[in-house]
Structure 1
Amino acid sequence: MENKQDETSFWLKNCHVTVDGGLTAYLTMSDALIQEQSFPQLTYQGLVEFLRHNGVTFGIDMVACQQIVMNPRGYIGFRTKVATGQAPRHGENAIIDVLLEDQMHVPRKLEDGRVDFFDLGVVRTVHKGQVVATKKPATEGVQGVGVNGAPIMAKPGRDFRLPQGKNTVISADGLQLIADKDGHVSYTPRDVKINIFDVFEVNSDVDFSVGNIEFLGSVSIRGNVLSGFKIVAAGDIEIAGNVESAVLEAGGDVIIRGGVQARGKGMIKAGGTVRARFMQGGVVDAGVDVIVRDSIMHCTISAGRNIFMEAQKSVIVGGMVRAGEEVRTRTLGSPMATPTEVEVGVHPQLRSEMQELHQRMKDLQQNMDKTKKALVLLDNMAGISNQLPPDKAAMRKNLSVTYEHYLNEEEELMFRRSEIEAILLDTRRAKVLCIDVVYGGVKLTLGTQVAYVRDSRVGPVAYKITDGELTSSSVTS
């Protein structure tokens, strides 16, 4: 009995236990033991009892403890791991699988060898009852156990909603999104919604006999759109003829079988891709691509991804074109050195979203400061007894919930900001490709790098960012 007391007294006096994060326990033997001539008889059971006395009851490392008992002097002054808990296994996030074909289509090749750049199969139809998206649910995770035997809660996976839009329904088990009617399906990842639309058709020009059009679906115009008129569609806009100085706004694509003759007035804005035969004096803002067959002349164009010119004599001259990833044309500029600006890697929509995020975070910070000051004031009123009148207690509870909501919103905004910053800094895909010739008078901006073309250069030539510098190189046609 006396030996056991000596052993216990020895451990209590000369050792201490530390726990990191609740999952790892360490034993440290005092440096003062170096002066000890002899130790009391140390046993494995005595060491385990000492650990339990210090709150370590789970995951004790039997081998480590045995080694300490066999050679205690070898562990003096060291921090030795003696127990390891069981870490929690966090849940997995839900996964949404959109069962729609990708919007990147290959132009159809005609029998005579020509390519129809407008027949891309962009109209996607679904039937009532068709599954358009599925969901793999989030998992709850498995809780862990700390070295003190207490449970460590696992973080559940984040749930995501199915992209339910117009004319779609969610199945009873919540795992499928189903078309509720036959129609044209439109999916815009930015809005995270799948919509199924009817099509509004106009079998003539859009003029004074028709007036402006605003429709919660897709719009098909069999004629031209004259100056001064406006078409707003939640889905796609398809025009068989030409577009003058009009305003077109589509949640999906804008397809113009003819061309655009806008004289610097009006605007074309699309959440998806804008396609046309030619553009003169147009103002275009596309969320995805701008694809023009023949020419872009004196236009202001922004595309979230690419600007492609596909005809054998295609040209971009005058004005400014901006693209998130690539600008491709046969000819860039003109022999008269017409000022022409090309910007790539700028992601116009993302830059606008970044500005909105900065403003939202600024406003959110102001609200958080006001809420925090109000909570501090109420805490001071509560004093040591932590007692408040019922109305003040209810106010403090509501403010606490509001502040927690602000914290969650701030975390989401910061995460989105970091995502956008990473995209904006990534210029690996930024490219300007000229197949035939680049004329003097062209200003190129790739990311933050700027170059002026002073002398004409015969293509094919590609401008890219290499090792942080804007470079040009000849490429195989």
Structure 2
Amino acid sequence: MEHKQDENVFWLKNCKVTVEGGLTAYMTLSETLLQEQNFPQLTYNGLVEYLRHNGVTFGIDMVSCQQICMNPRGYIGFKQKVATGKAPINGDNAVIDILLEDTQHVPRELEDGRVDFFDLGVVRTVHKGQILAKKKTPTEGVQGVGVNGAPIMAKPGRDYRLPQGKNTVISEDGLMLLADRDGHVSYTPRDVKIHVFDVFEVNSDIDFSVGNIDFLGNVRIRGNVLPGFRIVAAGDIEIAGNVENAVLEAGGDIIIRGGVQARGKGLIKAGGTVRARFMQGAVVESGVDVIVRDSIMHCNISAGRNIMMEAQKAVIVGGLVRAGEEVRTRTLGSPMATPTEVEVGVHPHLRNEMQELHQKMKDLQQNMDKTKKALALLDNMAGIGNQLPPDKAALRQNLTATYQHYMSEEEELMFRRSEIEAILLDTRRAKVYCLDILYGGVKLTLGQQVAYLRDTRTGPVVYGIADGELTTSVVY
């Protein structure tokens, strides 16, 4: 008992405990002990009890404390660590993973090693429902314990919002950002938002700094389209300037505020209407109308419905223009009798479809003949008893089903052919209007009727078909 009291007095008189940051405890023996000759017997339990009295109850370093007790003189005047707490582990911040390809705007390398300088990949197309970004949620962290035994709270991770912009939605679980429609995706880290646009705009010319465009929505170009470039849009295409020998393909309308100078190259193809100020050497295919203000010169134009000229001095000269119903212009041909062909009532897309139907029916008939011969061969093998090995019986069953499918397909093709033939024979709306002057050198085709104009004629005049004959009448 007396020994324990001596030890307690020793620690109280000569030892100082300090705690730093709540996680580390140090003990320092007083330098006055250098003058002492004899120390009481020091024990590990006695030192631990002293530390507890000084508020140090967790993470006590057994080895360090035992060394101090065994050789206290070696630690006089020195700061010795005697306990270490458990540091808290702070939570991880939320992580936003952007699932968009980096756009380097560099020419695309082809499979054969060549480089396509017209394709820079400026359009990043996404589809509705496509995942644009994912979020990994923040964690709460793990709390620590101080040397005094008290808990030390961990700092929870910081949450971040998904970069939701225009035409994007967040999934029900809040962990994914999805495209709300088809379109062009735009993301700039500074804006910290992902947008999906149904209109892709270019505020310059389409040149080698922009490259080709292939987009699911509408495309708007505020400059010109230079030669050799290609713009494909599922919606409309609008060009503020001129178009040279480029390729424009739209599921909707194509509007060219300037004109087209194509020199017989390139293609302008629209499911809807094509509009332009003028066209020269252009190849145009329109599902509905072609509307031009000033002139159509040496072009190859097909319109599903009408070709309309709007200006007071509008002219069609040279080349070939086809329309399903009407061609309307002020002047047709030229004083030099430039060969100019006009066809109406021809429905170019239906004639193309008819050609495709003929080819399909030809291929189908060949397949039906092969199948029929194979079935006849199997029937001969079956003989009077109509017995075949299992594999041959299964083959005959499959061939029979195939032949029935071919017959059904043939019936559908024949029905569609009859529908197209009825439309092509209906030429009541086939009209050519020439309001000012019609020059010689013009070839008119209305349905099956053809007329070659050798002399100049002044308008207004309209050509049509009545009772299967070509008619001419004056328009007042």
Q: TM-score, normalised by structure 1?
A: 0.58
| Aligned position for 2:397 | 397
Equivalent residue pairs, number: 288
Report the equivalent of 2:219: 219
Provide the C-alpha distance between the structure 2 equivalents of 1:365 and 1:263, rounded to a whole number of angstroms: 42
> Relative to 1, partners in 2 of residues 1:182 and 1:363: Cα closer, same or farther, differing over 3 Å?
closer
Counterpart mapping for 1:141-290 below 5 A? 198-290=198-290
Whether the aligned pair in 2 keeps the contact of 1:371 and 1:399 (CA below 8 Å) is yes
**1:322 corresponds to:** 322
- 1:379 matched to 2:379? The reply is yes
Quote how far apart the aligned CAs of 1:181 are. Answer: 5.3
Structure 2 partner of 1:345:
345
Q: Give the corresponding residue for 1:444.
A: 444
Helix, strand or coil at the partner of 1:336: coil
Superposed displacement of residue 217, structure 1: 2.4
- RMSD (CA atoms): 2.1
Q: Could you tell me how far 1:373 is from its partner in structure 2? A: 1.2
Secondary structure, counterpart of 1:341 in structure 2: strand
Distance in 2 (CA, whole Å) between partners of 1:470 and 1:181 is: 55
Report the alpha carbon displacement of residue 380 of structure 1 after superposing the two structures with TM. Answer: 2.0
CA contact (8 A) 2:182 2:217 kept: no
Amino acid at match of 1:198: D
Give the conservation status (yes or no) of the 8 Å contact 1:197–1:216: no
Larger radius of gyration: 2
Offset from partner CA, 1:284-308 (integer Å, 9 cap, x none): 1112111111111111111111101
Q: Is the 8 A contact 1:197 1:218 kept in 2?
A: no
Amino acid at match of 2:262: A
> What does the per-residue CA deviation read over 1:353-406, in whole Å, with 9 as the maximum and x for residues that have no partner?
111111111110111111111112222222232222211111111111111110
| Per-residue Cα deviation, 1:391-434 (whole angstroms, up to 9, x for no partner) | 11111111111111101100011011111111111111111011
SS in 2 for 1:379: helix
Q: 2: distance between equivalents of 1:324 and 1:181?
A: 39
CA contact (8 A) 2:325 2:344 kept: yes
Deviation at 1:344, TM superposition (A): 0.9
Residue 316 (structure 1) shift: 0.8
- The 8 Å contact of residues 197 and 235 in structure 1, kept in 2 or not, is answered as no
Match of 2:362 in 1: 362
Query: What residue is the counterpart of 2:331 in the other structure?
Result: 331
Q: Counterpart of 1:158?
A: none
**Which residue type is aligned with residue 240 of structure 2?**
A
> What SS class does the counterpart of residue 337 from structure 1 fall into?
coil
Query: How big is the shift at 1:272?
Result: 1.7
Range with bigger deviation, 200-209 or 446-455: 446-455
Provide, for residues 163-200 of structure 1, a one-character-per-residue CA deviation record: whole Å limited to 9, x for no partner: xxxx9xxxxxxxxxxxx95789xxxxxxxxxxx99222
**Distance in 2 between the 1:467 and 1:448 partners?**
12
2:428 and 2:465 in contact (8 A); partners too: yes
SS in 2 for 1:354: helix
AA in 1 matched with 2:449: Q
In the alignment, the residues of structure 1 paired with residue 337 and residue 280 of structure 2 have an alpha-carbon distance, to the nearest angstrom, of: 18
Q: What displacement does 1:469 show?
A: 1.4
- The corresponding residue for 1:426 is 426
SS in structure 1 of the partner of residue 352 of structure 2: helix
Q: Find the residue that maps to 2:242 and give its secondary structure.
A: coil
Distance of 1:276 and 1:399 partners within structure 2: 55
CA distance in 2, matches of 1:344, 1:330: 17
* Structure 2 CA distance for aligned equivalents of residues 353 and 274 of structure 1: 21
Q: Does the 8 A contact of 1:261 with 1:279 survive in 2?
A: yes
For residues 27-49 of structure 1, give each alpha carbon's deviation from its aligned partner in whole angstroms, at most 9, with x where no partner exists: xxxxxxxxxxxxxxxxxxxxxxx
Q: How does 1:305-316 map to 2 (within 5 A)?
A: 305-316=305-316
Deviation at 1:338, TM superposition (A): 2.1
CA distance in 2, matches of 1:397, 1:338: 64
The separation in 2 between residues aligned to 1:472 and 1:183, in whole angstroms, is 51
Q: Which runs of 5+ in 2 are unaligned?
A: 1-127, 129-166, 168-178, 184-195
> 1:471 is aligned with what amino acid?
T
Task: Report the 3-state secondary structure (helix = DSSP H, G, I; strand = E; otherwise coil) of the residue aligned with 1:364.
Answer: helix
Q: What's the secondary structure of 2:264's corresponding residue?
A: coil
Q: Is the 8 A contact 1:378 1:392 kept in 2?
A: yes
Question: Which blocks of at least 5 consecutive residues in structure 1 are unaligned?
Answer: 1-127, 129-166, 168-179, 185-195
* Matched residue SS, 1:361: helix
Distance 2:378 2:384 in 1: 12
3-state SS of the aligned residue for 2:200?
A: strand
Q: Could you say if the C-alpha distance between residues 205 and 325 of structure 1 is closer, same or farther in structure 2, counting changes exceeding 3 Å?
A: same
Which range moved further: 216-225 or 413-422? 216-225
Aligned to 1:462: 462
User: Residues 283 and 301 of structure 2 are in contact (CA less than 8 Å); yes or no, is this contact kept in structure 1?
Assistant: yes
Instruction: Check the 8 A contact 1:229/1:247 in 2, yes or no.
Output: yes
Q: Which residue of structure 2 aligns with residue 188 of structure 1?
A: none
1:435 to 2:435 alignment:
yes
CA distance in 1, matches of 2:382, 2:222: 72
Q: Is the 8 A contact 1:328 1:432 kept in 2?
A: yes
Letter aligned with residue 279 of structure 2: M
- Deviations for 1:111-153, whole angstroms, at most 9, x for unmatched residues? xxxxxxxxxxxxxxxxx9xxxxxxxxxxxxxxxxxxxxxxxxx
- One-letter code aligned to 2:336: M
Q: Is the 8 A contact 1:290 1:303 kept in 2?
A: yes
Letter in 2 for 1:357: L
Distance in 2 of aligned mates of 1:183 and 1:365: 41
Measured in 1, the distance between the counterparts of 2:348 and 2:332 equals: 21
CA contact (8 A) 2:182 2:216 kept: no
CA-CA distance at 1:342 after TM superposition: 0.7
For 1:438 and 1:258, locate their aligned partners in 2 and report how far apart those are by CA, in whole Å: 26
